[in-house]
Structure 1
Amino acid sequence: MLHAESLACARGERVVLRDISLTLTPGKLLGVLGANGAGKTSLLATLAGEIPAHGGSLQLDGRALHAYSTAELARRRAVLPQSPSLSFDLGVREVVAMGAYPFGNLPASRLETLIARVLALADATVLSTRRYLALSGGEQQRVQFARVLLQTLAARAEDEYRVLMLDEPTASLDPRHQVQLLQGVARIAREEGVASLLVLHDVNLAAQWCDRLMLLTRGACVAQGTPREVLTPENLETVYGLPAQVIPHPAQADTPLVLFASRVEA
């Protein structure tokens, strides 16, 4: 499993993470929440091996993460950044198929099966004959989500521990596709045993879909646990600087619903 203990990270002279401990468990979704600049993206990038840790321990299956090559990491974890960029005018199916690159030449029949599956999970099947650069921002996000799903699923026959990391994946999506994306992540996690890390801004979406949450502020963990344990008025005001009311969700038992103050005092 991917395990961090007392993790610290710096960007230049600025410490962006300190004393972070977590484990990404197969089949479970961990949601990372916090205000802008809290260190959410830095945490994801450090766990993905994209920026180095400057303290603590970070291990994948008992081996230091920095000991893995880039190619090895690409076969063990898939990352969807905040703003995935692609300037080449490729077809949608070609973009999705990029997720198979770390695994060499997959059999054509298996690749086609995977493409069809992930396009359906991302509600992007209708986009499959179009050109990527002609899509809207939200449509491109769904295609990129399909790509990282394919990367995540391509090696499942090897029964390896895999991690799916998504940085604000719902930001450019309408409410329907926000729910569909999170539903797809949850389905893949449970059916395939994939460990998932999601950086989110919407605390209520996180409460509904994530098994556990981590609240960050100024690079430190304020709380980690189940949504009910983490989303308290005290924790939320500490992180967001707004009074919050937490009530039971009217449609989902045991799920908290967060209501923030409608005004910010001058």
Structure 2
Amino acid sequence: MLIADQLCCGRHGKAVLSGVSLQLNPGEVLGVLGANGAGKSTLLATLAGELPPLAGTLTLNGAPLAIQSAHQQARCRAVLPQTPSLAFELGVRAVAATGAYPFPELSPPDLDALLERTLSLADAAAFTTRRYTTLSGGEQQRVQFARVLTQALAQRASGEYRALLLDEPTASLDPRHQLLLLQTVAQLAREQQLAVLVILHDVNLAAWWCDRLLLLADGAVAALGTPQAVLTPGHLRAVYQINATVTPHPHAPERQLVCFG
């Protein structure tokens, strides 16, 4: 399990967040919300091992993350960055297949079956014969989603911990594909016991699809808990500096609907 205790995160030696304590539980989707510059991407990059913590402890499966090799980490967690880039003229299927690099033991038939599944889950199967660079931004994002799903769902020992870290995965997607992506993430979290952390800007998408929410503001955790406990007018005002009304969702009263202004 990925566990942070009193984590201090920053870039170039300058702290952005401090006192962050959380754990990514199997079978759960944790949504991260906050205003621009709140430190959401810095937190994800630290949890992914891409940035060293400035203080606190960060462990993966009981061992300090810092002493684990990139290969060890890649077999346990998959990361979708905010702006994935690709400098090579690769086909869509080849890009999705890079998610299997940490698993050389996969046989060609198993890899083919896995790619067929993940490209379908990402709704990217229709353009598998095209070059990645010819796709629109939203289509490229769907291919990158297929890549991290390939990494997260690659064959491994039963019960092995797997984490999926997604940085604004819905940003370039149309509403249908935003819902499809988050529905897929939530379903896989339940069925495959994935531990998911997803950074979102849409508060209502987070309220609908996430099991727990982490609100960041003023360089610290403003709230952490269920959507019902976290999405209050007071918390939202502290995070976004704007008034918010929170009401039961008209289609699901157990969920919340947030209106700003």
Deviations 1:94-135 (A, max 9, x none): 110110001114201110110011011101111111111100
Distance 1:62 1:157, change over 3 A: closer
Which residue of structure 1 aligns with residue 27 of structure 2?
27
Runs of 4+ aligned structure 1 residues displaced above 4 Å come to: none
Aligned residues: 261
SS at match of 1:253: strand
Alpha carbons 1:228, 1:255 under 8 Å: kept: yes
Q: CA deviation at 1:157?
A: 4.1
Which residue of structure 1 aligns with residue 48 of structure 2?
48
Which residue of structure 2 aligns with residue 78 of structure 1?
78
Q: CA deviation at 1:13?
A: 4.4
Q: CA deviation at 1:38?
A: 0.3
Q: CA deviation at 1:59?
A: 0.8
Which residue of structure 1 aligns with residue 242 of structure 2?
242
Give the AA of the match of 1:4: A
Give the AA of the match of 1:214: L
Alpha carbons 1:18, 1:219 under 8 Å: kept: yes
After TM superposition, the structure 1 = structure 2 runs for residues 128-147 of structure 1, keeping only pairs within 5 Å, are 128-147=128-147
SS at match of 1:205: helix
After TM superposition, the structure 1 = structure 2 runs for residues 213-224 of structure 1, keeping only pairs within 5 Å, are 213-224=213-224
Which residue of structure 2 aligns with residue 264 of structure 1?
none
Structure-1 separation of matches of 2:260 and 2:16: 26
Structure-1 separation of matches of 2:95 and 2:178: 21
Q: CA deviation at 1:14?
A: 2.3
Instruction: Give the percent of matched residue pairs that are identical in Structure 1 and Structure 2.
Output: 61
Deviation larger for 72-81 or 123-132: 123-132
Which residue of structure 2 aligns with residue 202 of structure 1?
202
Q: CA deviation at 1:219?
A: 2.4
Q: CA deviation at 1:158?
A: 4.4
Structure-2 separation of matches of 1:155 and 1:216: 35
Q: TM-score, normalised by structure 1?
A: 0.96
Segments of 5+ residues of structure 1 without an aligned counterpart are 262-266
1:10 paired to 2:43: no
Q: CA deviation at 1:177?
A: 0.1
Deviations 1:42-94 (A, max 9, x none): 10001111000111111111111111001111111000000100021111111
Alpha carbons 1:28, 1:195 under 8 Å: kept: yes
Which residue of structure 2 aligns with residue 127 of structure 1?
127
Deviations 1:203-235 (A, max 9, x none): 000000000000001321000000010000000
Segments of 5+ residues of structure 2 without an aligned counterpart are none
Alpha carbons 1:45, 1:51 under 8 Å: kept: yes
Q: CA deviation at 1:9?
A: 1.8
Distance 1:16 1:155, change over 3 A: farther
Alpha carbons 1:39, 1:218 under 8 Å: kept: no
Q: TM-score, normalised by structure 2?
A: 0.98
